[in-house]
Amino acid sequence: MSEVRVAILGASGYTGAELVRMLAGHPEFRVTVLTGDRKAGQPLASVFPHLGMLKLPDLVAIADVDFSQVDAVFCCLPHGTTQEVIAGLPEHVSVVDLSADFRLTSLDAYAQWYGHEHKAPELQKKAIYGLTEIKRDAIRTARLVANPGCYPTSVQLPLVPLFKAGLIEAQDIIIDAKSGTSGAGRSAKEANLYCEVTEGIHAYGIASHRHAPEIEQELGLAAGQDVLVSFTPHLMPMSRGMLSTIYVRTAKGATAADLRAELSRVYAAEPFVGVLPEGAVPATRHVRGSNFCLMNVFDDRQPGRVIVTSVIDNLVKGASGQALQNMNLMFGLPETTNLAQQPLFP
Residues with catalytic roles: 150
Find the binder of a second copy among 61, 138, 228, 257 (CB under 8 A): 228
Cα separation, 116 vs 299, in Å, equals: 43
By CB under 8 A, tell whether 231 contacts a second copy: yes
**Positive or negative: CA dihedral 188, 189, 193, 198:** negative
> Closer CB to a second copy, residue 66 or residue 190?
190
| Total residues at interface with a second copy (CB under 8 A) | 88
> Closer CB to a second copy, residue 85 or residue 212?
212
By CB under 8 A, tell whether 225 contacts a second copy: no
Cα separation, 343 vs 346, in Å, equals: 9
Query: At closest approach, how far in Å is the CB of 171 from a second copy?
Result: 9
By the 10 Å C-beta count (0-12 exposed, 13-18 middle, 19+ buried), 278 is classed as exposed
Q: Which of residues 143-182 bind a second copy (CB under 8 A)?
A: 172, 174, 176, 178, 180-182
Query: At closest approach, how far in Å is the CB of 228 from a second copy?
Result: 6
Cα separation, 244 vs 312, in Å, equals: 9
Query: At closest approach, how far in Å is the CB of 106 from a second copy?
Result: 17
> Closer CB to a second copy, residue 63 or residue 207?
207
> Closer CB to a second copy, residue 103 or residue 286?
286
> Closer CB to a second copy, residue 105 or residue 245?
245
> Closer CB to a second copy, residue 116 or residue 301?
301
Contacts within 8 Å (CB) and 24+ apart, 251-258: 251/166, 251/167, 251/168, 251/169, 252/166, 252/167, 253/304, 254/167, 254/168, 255/299, 255/306, 256/297, 256/298, 256/299, 256/306, 256/307, 257/297, 258/167
Find the binder of a second copy among 67, 113, 114, 298 (CB under 8 A): 298
Find the binder of a second copy among 48, 102, 110, 163 (CB under 8 A): 48
Please identify, among the stretches 57-65, 196-204, 257-265, 320-328, the one whose residues bind a second copy according to the rule CB under 8 A.
Answer: 196-204
* Cβ contact 2:27 at 8 Å: no
Cα separation, 183 vs 15, in Å, equals: 9
Cα separation, 220 vs 217, in Å, equals: 5
> Closer CB to a second copy, residue 215 or residue 330?
215
Find the binder of a second copy among 53, 63, 268, 269 (CB under 8 A): 53
By CB under 8 A, tell whether 211 contacts a second copy: no
Q: DSSP of 162-187, one letter per residue?
A: HHHTT-B-SSSEEEEEEE-GGGG-SS
Query: At closest approach, how far in Å is the CB of 293 from a second copy?
Result: 10
Q: Is 273 helix (H, G, I), strand (E, B) or coil?
A: strand
Q: Which of residues 307-346 bind a second copy (CB under 8 A)?
A: 307, 309, 311, 340-346
The binding track of 240-269 with respect to a second copy, each residue x by CB under 8 A or -, is xx-x-x-x----------------------
Task: Give the CA dihedral 180, 185, 186, 189, nearest 10 degrees.
Answer: -90
By CB under 8 A, tell whether 103 contacts a second copy: no
By CB under 8 A, tell whether 278 contacts a second copy: no
Query: At closest approach, how far in Å is the CB of 93 from a second copy?
Result: 26
Helix axes 107-114, 211-223, angle to 10 degrees: 150
By CB under 8 A, tell whether 107 contacts a second copy: no
Find the binder of a second copy among 200, 253, 268, 332 (CB under 8 A): 200
Please identify, among the stretches 81-89, 115-123, 148-156, 287-295, the one whose residues bind a second copy according to the rule CB under 8 A.
Answer: 287-295
Q: DSSP of 8-71, one letter per residue?
A: EESTTSHHHHHHHHHHTT-SSEEEEEEE-GGGTTS-HHHH-GGGTTS--PPEE-GGG--GGG-S
By CB under 8 A, tell whether 38 contacts a second copy: no
Cα separation, 146 vs 129, in Å, equals: 5
